[in-house]
Structure 1
Amino acid sequence: MRIISGKYKGRRINAPKNLPVRPTTDMSKESLFNILNNRLEFDGLKVLDLFSGTGNLSYEFGSRGADSITSVDADFGCVKFIKQTAAEFEFNITAIKSDVFKFLAAHRSAYDVIVADPPYNMEQKHFEELVHLIFENGLLQEDGIMIIEHSKYTKLEHATNFSFLKKYGGSIFSFFEFEREDEVDEDGEEE
């Protein structure tokens, strides 16, 4: 995997072969970050990376100037690799070994961006639970965005706060945001 843009643009990161991961492809990652580039200012962002695996997405946010990144994965080897890579690149990444659902149930900090790359074979109900926990527990800032990567077999368009999706090869990114209500002035006119 390589870092696409930012301070460490073009740098390759080689993860150990024995990690139980399916990293986001460089092509999909580049497409995702092109969308985010048009919506976000990366400097100062507070990011939560769930099912972080090799830390691929965390490093991209770090290279682009995100201020604080929390990476959560249940695998000890993945967390160890993320910690080592974060130290090498001097990224402000806190890597936490935890079941993602237990982490979300107990955690109460809000983030500007939440990305989740669960196993593609995770049950549909768990994808829906992921969305529910994040919004129910106030983990996303009001103007924040959440992205879940999944296969074409998972359908999330009906989930709370679904905004839009983008397809890249066999991967789909579903985007979630708080619904924006147009402000209405005292005469009943939209501003």
Structure 2
Amino acid sequence: MRIISGIYKSRKIVAPKNLPVRPTTDMAKESLFNILNNQFYFDEISVLDLFAGTGNISYEFASRGTQNITCVDQDHGCIKFINQTAEAFEMPINTIKSNVFKFLEKSSLQTNIIFADPPYSFSEEQFAKIPELIFQNNMLLEDGILIIEHSKHTNLSDLNHYSHSKSYGGNMFSFFEVT
């Protein structure tokens, strides 16, 4: 994976092969950040990265100037890799090793952007639980957005707070907003 833009532009990050991850493709990531670039000043926002995996999305935010980034993943290897990478690049990324659903049930954190990249194999009920907990606990700041990455075979348009989706190859990003 590579960082698309910002101070670490073109830097390649190689994750260990044994991590249980499916990193967002560079094409999909670039398209997503083109959308976000028109809505946010990256140096003025906070980000929560759920099911963070390799930290791919968080590195992109950090490279673009975001100073308040929190990554949540339950895999020890993923958290260790994110911590090592963040330290090597001096990125302001905090990590929390936790089951994402347990974290969401208890968290009082509020951010501008919440990005969730759960396993594509999640059931519709598991996908639905993500925005349900986030909006129930008021985790988005005013004008904030939740973005869930999923397969094009998953439809989240019937969920509360759904705004729209964008498709990039086999990947989809569904956007949710405070209404």
Same-fold status (TM-score > 0.5)? yes
Alpha-carbon distance between aligned partners in 1 of 2:67 and 2:138, rounded to the nearest angstrom: 20
SS at match of 1:165: strand
Alpha-carbon distance between aligned partners in 2 of 1:3 and 1:41, rounded to the nearest angstrom: 18
Confirm whether residue 152 of structure 1 aligns to residue 148 of structure 2. Answer: no
Partner in structure 2 of residue 130 of structure 1: 130
Partner in structure 1 of residue 17 of structure 2: 17
Partner in structure 2 of residue 57 of structure 1: 57
Count of aligned pairs between the two proteins: 179
Structure 2, unaligned runs of 5 or more: none
Alpha-carbon distance between aligned partners in 1 of 2:171 and 2:79, rounded to the nearest angstrom: 24
Structure 1, unaligned runs of 5 or more: 180-191
Residues 1-191 of structure 1 aligned to structure 2 (within 5 Å): 1-179=1-179
Alpha-carbon distance between aligned partners in 1 of 2:67 and 2:162, rounded to the nearest angstrom: 26
Structure label with greater radius of gyration: 1
SS at match of 1:54: coil
After TM superposition, give the deviation of residue 20 of structure 1 in Å: 0.5
Alpha-carbon distance between aligned partners in 2 of 1:67 and 1:164, rounded to the nearest angstrom: 27
- TM-score (normalizing by structure 1): 0.92
SS at match of 2:102: helix
Amino acid in structure 1 at the alignment position of 2:154: T
After TM superposition, give the deviation of residue 153 of structure 1 in Å: 2.1
Alpha-carbon distance between aligned partners in 1 of 2:4 and 2:97, rounded to the nearest angstrom: 26
Amino acid in structure 1 at the alignment position of 2:171: S
